[in-house]
Chains A and B, each alone.
Chain A
Amino acid sequence: MPHQTSLKTVKRSNEPFWWALFSAGGVIAALCVPVLLFMTGLAIPLGWMDAPGYEAMYTLFENPLSRLVILVIVSLSAFHWAHRFRFTLYDGLHLKHLNAPVAFFCYGCAILFSAYAAYSLYSF
């Protein structure tokens, strides 16, 4: 059988770019957010854990690596939200005809949010 290749005629989707962010965000949110919520929302306020002092937190976040980790968690979670919300609008509200504006709005929010997080962490 002759080797057929249809690479030139078929338009590959660019969806993998957004899906990669979505899926990375899903994984990182599932792994990190419950732990962070448990610690900052339950364990520390209810006194199950000693609150880390201001000095300790300050030292932790003086390290650029800690700030980078926070940025990655916040930003990827935002892209996870954006992708999911985009398809909620598409399929849930039948807004497929507004494809471009919906995608622009959702991913735009995630980009702005990430930029704000980056700025806040940078100027810390």
Chain B
Amino acid sequence: MNHANTTTTIDLEVYRYRPELETEPTFDTFTVPLRSDWVILDALNYIKDEIDGTLSYRWSCQMGVCGSCGMMANGEPILTCASFLKNYAPGPIRVEPLANFPVARDLIISMDDFMEKLNRIKPWIIVEEEKPLEEGEYLQTPEQLDEYKQFSMCINCMLCYSACPIYGMEPSFIGPAALALAQRYNLDSRDHGNQQRLDILSTDDGIWQCTFVGECSEVCPENVDPAGAIQQYKVASTNDWWKSKLMPWGNKK
């Protein structure tokens, strides 16, 4: 390990908001060692352990799987466990809570809105009737798996919501991750919930708020393509709409 690296430092300007102390958020500047193997999350852990134990933030796995350490670094939504300090050298790095969400404390956002929306799109496999156990598993070919696999990689980190300018202006918009997850189940050969989800997603708060800015797909750490999912969904919803207008007898169940 390069010793010169451990002696250099970098400044972090960290967003602070302690509702019992202050009505407006402030920024605290902390100086941390600039180690070449450190990510922003390491720097935050260093601050909490060595400088200010009151700093609050979410994290868990430290390996880009759990999706809990998403924050804004210099205005970009990122996973702090996957963003090396050296890429921001010489700094400073401005660390803020994810944009477009209400802040509960310091770097912690309230994710109630996202959880409610996620639930609304029915992110589970819907079957008309459960098969009896003796009929065995619901089999799927590798090709059928490939249809939806990309959209199943979402880790609910909500970076896409922070990047989405539409969600910033229209909080009622269901938003990228939830729409991509809806498509993950729609494209699953075992699922029969397409029509139920279409009824929810074809509203004004669903896919039709999206203007295909595409930032959601840019920032996604798992290379999910929510923007692509929404466009696919627009085509499906448009076909369904024209069918229901031109052949109103066709869709009755």
Contacts and interface: CB of A to CB of B under 8 A. Distances in A.
Contact of A10 (B169, B203, B237): B203
Nearest to A3: B128
A17 interface: yes
Contact of B208 (A4, A5, A15): A15
A98 B126 CA distance: 40
Query: How big is chain B's contact interface, by range?
Result: 20 to 34
B51 to A, nearest CB: 41
A44 to B, nearest CB: 35
Contacts of B202: 12-13, 16
A13 to B, nearest CB: 5
A13 B196 contact: no
B200 A6 contact: yes
A16 B242 contact: yes
B211 A1 contact: no
A20 to B, nearest CB: 5
A16 B200 contact: no
Contacts of B126: 1
A100 to B, nearest CB: 13
B88 to A, nearest CB: 30
A82 to B, nearest CB: 14
Contacts of A15: 204, 208
Given A3-B128, A5-B253, A17-B241, A87 B200 contact: no
B199 A16 contact: no
A69 interface: no
A10 B199 contact: yes
Contacts of A4: 196
B238 A19 contact: yes
Interface in B92-120: none
B203 A20 contact: no
Contacts of B130: 1
B166 A91 contact: yes
B197 to A, nearest CB: 10
B169 A87 contact: no
B203 A12 contact: yes
B234 to A, nearest CB: 6
Closest 10 CB pairs of A and B: A16-B241, A15-B208, A16-B238, A13-B204, A13-B208, A87-B211, A10-B199, A20-B238, A12-B202, A6-B199
Interface of A: 1, 3-7, 10-17, 19-20, 23, 87, 91, 94, 96
17 contacts: A1-B126, A1-B130, A7-B199, A10-B203, A11-B204, A13-B202, A13-B206, A15-B208, A16-B208, A16-B240, A17-B241, A23-B238, A87-B211, A91-B166, A91-B169, A91-B211, A94-B169
Given A1-B130, A13-B206, A96-B170, 12 more contacts: A6-B199, A11-B203, A11-B204, A13-B202, A13-B204, A16-B234, A16-B237, A16-B238, A87-B211, A91-B165, A91-B169, A94-B169
